[in-house]
Amino acid sequence: MKRTLLTLFTLFAFQALLFGQQEAKPGTGKNVSILLYDDGTWRYADSVPHYANNSTTITGLEIPKTNPKNNIISHTGYSLLFNNKHKQANWVAYELTSAETNKQFERTNKFLPDPDVTSGTANDNDYKGSGYDKGHLAPAADMGWSATAMAESFYYSNMSPQTPGFNRGIWKRLEELVRTWAIENNSVYIVTGPVLTNGLQSIGANKVSVPNYFYKVILDNTEPGINGIGFIIPNTGSDLPLQSFAVTIDSVEKLTGIDFYPALPDKQEKIIESKLCLQCWSWKSVKSGNENDKNKTSTSVQCKGKTKAGSACKNKTLNASGYCYLHENQQQTNTSNQATPAKTEKMATSVQCSGTTKAGNRCKHMTKSPNGRCFQHGGN
């Protein structure tokens, strides 16, 4: 319990420091850190069990709650709600399946006005010489499954002014990680966008607002349990790990005023959106062609491991062994028990451990264990 409280205090202090450095304030006039944490509903709940998913398929699950008077624009790969005042989308929403992460079409890099936005979008001149990137909300890399979806991902309605360090750095890292989650969970539901408030700086003749923050919320709605997670990241470069910016979906709702995943049953939505379970998600992106991918499968499976309580692990994994990184040592122990003879002798020369770390890298420890593994990875 003390450790949990310490973790909470450390996270709150860090986020307060991080957001406190920004001048932007939400519409209530409160600092962002206060808005996120002052209501007492935050639950940093890695120990909260998964919510069992017994529901049928929900159509349009990714679409946030929207006033009937507002016009939702639907393209081949994503939907959006355009904000004419700020000349960009309030949100962009789409489902990303495992199959859709297999790129078949290259980037067009041809930025175009969105023909479905009758009030007009930004254009090339707005961004020219501004110092800001034309930052995708729904990334082009998520749309490589269709030539039309790829072309439409370059509509200006899907763009927002992003600093180069943000767009090409931490935002790109998050996009790559979400694609990994789509592979591991077969599909995920994504809503992403800028945090739009009054008084923002603007660029170009169309006065395109420059957000101080961007958000992304992700829902895994597949068996054996479902989970949600949110991110709020300042529009600036950062080398911090993505976990540092993870928050509950409830927190993103408080900051943006957007009600995410309203199609979920109310009880289910309340549980999912109020908890933050970092251990429910993997934190290393899987890139095609990466040497570390040789021990990965193309389809995720439920981990074969057991928790400390003796229950079946509910994490999903791409590891060919069938064990997630938390329980990889169980697979190694089982293999060792089956293959090790009654009497073993240490090797005369030390070798590098053949196990992998939680991050998916080769273990750097040296060992003389007959099975080629150090004590941390099942050596004997």
Burial class (CB in 10 A: 0-12, 13-18, 19+), 64: buried
User: What is the average pLDDT across 250-264?
Assistant: 96
Residue with tokens 């479905």: 116
Q: Rounded to the nearest 5 degrees, what angle is found at the Cα of 162, between the Cα atoms of 73 and 184?
A: 70
> How far is residue 242 from each of residues 130, 233, 284, measured CA to CA in Å?
27, 9, 10
**Predicted confidence band of residue 370 (pLDDT cuts 50, 70, 90):** low
Threshold 0.75, pTM exceeds = no
Q: Which helix (H) or strand (E) holds 18?
A: helix 2-20
Q: Rounded to the nearest 5 degrees, what angle is found at the Cα of 88, between the Cα atoms of 283 and 244?
A: 25
| Mean pLDDT over the full length of the chain | 79
Are the C-beta atoms of 361 and 283 separated by less than 8 Å? no
| pLDDT higher than threshold 90 for residue 155 | yes
Burial class (CB in 10 A: 0-12, 13-18, 19+), 207: middle
Are the C-beta atoms of 98 and 299 separated by less than 8 Å? yes
Q: Which domains can be identified in the chain, with CATH numbers?
A: 2-280 (3.40.570.10), 291-377 (no CATH)
Is 136 in the active site? yes
Tokens describing residue 168: 């090409």
**CA gap 314, 277 in Å, rounded:** 13
Residue by residue, DSSP assigns 68-86 as TTS-EEE-SS-EEEEETTT
pLDDT value for 285: 84
- Which range has the worst mean pLDDT, 59-63, 176-180, 301-305, 349-353? 349-353
Instruction: Compute the radius of gyration of the chain from its Cα atoms.
Output: 23
Q: Which helix (H) or strand (E) holds 21?
A: none
Spatial CB neighbours of 109, under 8 Å, sequence gap ≥ 6: 154
pLDDT value for 325: 52
pLDDT value for 21: 36
User: What is the average pLDDT across 60-87?
Assistant: 94
- Which range has the worst mean pLDDT, 22-36, 65-79, 103-117, 305-319? 22-36
Selected catalytic residue, list 86, 136, 327, 377: 136
Q: Which helix (H) or strand (E) holds 245?
A: none
**What tens digit of pLDDT does each residue of 7-30 get?**
444 444 444 444 433 333 444 444
**CA gap 135, 128 in Å, rounded:** 13
